[in-house]
């Protein structure tokens, strides 16, 4: 069973990559959320792997973080949801958003491609008790939000993760006050400069 691949990206096509590990190329299907965060061809990557066995052989599904894999595992545990559909769902909604939609009973309102009313209802019923046990990381919950964009921009500007984590409460407050990313980033930069 393959659980992790660390190697060089040899090929990259929408939704799938080939990872070269010591001269052996492993084809891996990935959700778009992982695909867009992977380096370009030739870059090094590490993927958390789910190995799916079937009659025609094995298929590998890869994720950049444990949160995506945890939600993927929950999804494929529901009857009628195979790995491909689970990947498609994760390509359209991040793990934190999915978990909170199930926990709050709002999944049907999300309009996620691949999830019709019947499946949404089944997912809701089968996963509502399992989702609270998922420990979705705070970073994943911020993905796709102004706070997440600000943190990503600060990292790109050279601030270290531990420096950002020390100010995370104030950064979250700034992001919740501002609905414009540029203003939120300007305020956040002022905060970080005053501290350094």
Q: pLDDT for 3-15, tens place per residue?
A: 999 999 999 999 9
Q: Is the pLDDT of residue 180 over 70?
A: yes
For residue 154, give the nearest of 138, 141, 144, 168 by alpha carbon.
Answer: 168
Q: Which pLDDT score is estimated for 96?
A: 78
Q: What are 104's strand-pairing partners?
A: none
- What is the residue whose two structure tokens read 């370009």? 40
Share above pLDDT 90 across residues of the chain, in percent, rounded to a whole number: 28
Question: What is the rounded distance in angstroms from the CA atom of residue 27 to the CA atom of residue 21?
Answer: 11
Q: Which pLDDT score is estimated for 196?
A: 56
Per DSSP, the three-state class of 50 is: strand
Q: Is the pLDDT of residue 41 over 60?
A: yes
Least confident among 31-45, 85-99, 137-151 = 137-151
State pTM to two decimals: 0.67
Q: Is the pLDDT of residue 154 over 90?
A: no
- Mean pLDDT, rounded, of the chain: 84
For residue 136, give the nearest of 97, 104, 107, 101 by alpha carbon.
Answer: 97
Share above pLDDT 70 across residues of the chain, in percent, rounded to a whole number: 92
Q: Which pLDDT score is estimated for 21?
A: 96
Strand 4-13 to strand 44-54: parallel, antiparallel, or no bridges (unpaired)? antiparallel
Question: What is the rounded distance in angstroms from the CA atom of residue 156 to the CA atom of residue 137?
Answer: 20
Q: Which pLDDT score is estimated for 137?
A: 55
More confident call, 164 vs 44:
44
- Mean pLDDT, residues 75-80 taken together: 88
Q: Is the pLDDT of residue 68 over 80?
A: yes
């Amino acid at each position: 069973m393959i659980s992790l691949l660390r190697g060089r990206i040899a090929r990259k096509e929408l939704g799938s990559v080939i990872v070269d590990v010591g001269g052996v190329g492993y084809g891996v299907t990935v959700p778009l959320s992982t695909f867009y965060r992977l380096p370009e061809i030739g870059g090094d990557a590490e993927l958390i792997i789910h190995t799916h066995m079937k009659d025609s052989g094995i298929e590998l599904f890869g994720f950049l973080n444990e949160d995506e894999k945890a939600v993927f595992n929950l999804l494929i545990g529901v009857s009628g949801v195979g790995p491909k559909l689970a990947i498609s769902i994760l390509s359209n909604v991040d793990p934190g958003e999915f978990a909170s939609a199930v926990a709050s009973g709002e999944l049907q309102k999300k309009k996620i491609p691949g999830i019709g009313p019947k499946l949404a209802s089944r997912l809701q019923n089968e996963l509502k008790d399992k989702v609270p046990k998922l420990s979705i990381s705070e970073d994943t919950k911020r993905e796709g939000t102004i706070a997440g964009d600000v943190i990503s921009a600060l990292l790109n500007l050279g601030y270290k993760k531990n420096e950002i984590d020390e100010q995370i409460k104030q950064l979250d407050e700034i992001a919740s006050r501002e609905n414009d990313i540029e203003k939120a980033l300007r305020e956040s930069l002022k905060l970080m400069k005053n501290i350094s």
